[in-house]
């Protein structure tokens, strides 16, 4: 089973920027990454009842726990250093409201930030952090 594996939309500019930010902040290198478009990403996405063609959420796989939408984002923030974990206090907000806001942002992400023609290719220095 995977620990702290973030599945993200590899063609989404915002998602790629968020991954780069997590890599920069994650000094202990606890997070690993896989694009949902990768073979592993598609397999895990389908395994948990999601459509890898219509990507609407990132996914955090942490042992036997799988989180999506706002729960995934807040769980990632809770594990980061440098004060980011304080943003995880948004768990006090009702989940339906958090997930609604997440879904609305996800629907507009390509309009706001654009998309790539293909998934990001990690640099050799970051290759060990990417799976699949």
pLDDT score of 40: 95
Domain annotation covers residue 123:
no
Average pLDDT score, the chain: 92
Percent of the chain with pLDDT strictly greater than 90: 77
pLDDT tens for each residue of 103-117: 999 999 999 999 988
Dihedral (Cα; 32, 44, 102, 114), 10-degree rounding = 70
Q: Classify residue 59 by burial, with Cβ atoms within 10 Å: 0-12, 13-18, 19+.
A: buried
pLDDT bin (cut points 50, 70, 90) of residue 122 is confident
Query: Quick one: average pLDDT of 116-125?
Result: 82
Domain annotation covers residue 128:
no
Domain annotation covers residue 132:
no
88 contacts 74 by C-beta, under 8 angstroms: yes
Range of the domain at 92: 5-117
pLDDT tens for each residue of 16-51: 999 999 999 999 999 999 999 999 999 999 999 999
Query: Quick one: average pLDDT of 60-83?
Result: 93
Domain annotation covers residue 40:
yes
Joined together, the tokens standing for residue 99 give: 């997930």
């Amino acid at each position: 089973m995977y620990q702290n594996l973030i599945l993200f939309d590899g063609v989404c500019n915002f998602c790629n920027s968020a991954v780069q930010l997590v890599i920069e902040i994650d000094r202990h290198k606890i997070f690993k990454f896989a694009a949902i478009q990768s073979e592993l990403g598609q397999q895990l996405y389908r395994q948990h009842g999601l459509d890898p063609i219509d990507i609407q959420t990132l996914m955090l796989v942490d042992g036997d726990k799988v989180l999506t939408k706002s729960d995934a984002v807040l769980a990632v923030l809770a594990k980061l250093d440098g004060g980011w974990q304080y943003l995880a206090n948004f768990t006090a907000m009702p989940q339906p409201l958090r997930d609604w806001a997440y879904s609305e942002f996800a629907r507009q992400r390509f309009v706001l930030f654009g998309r790539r023609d293909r998934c990001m290719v990690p640099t050799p220095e970051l290759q060990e952090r990417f799976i699949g």
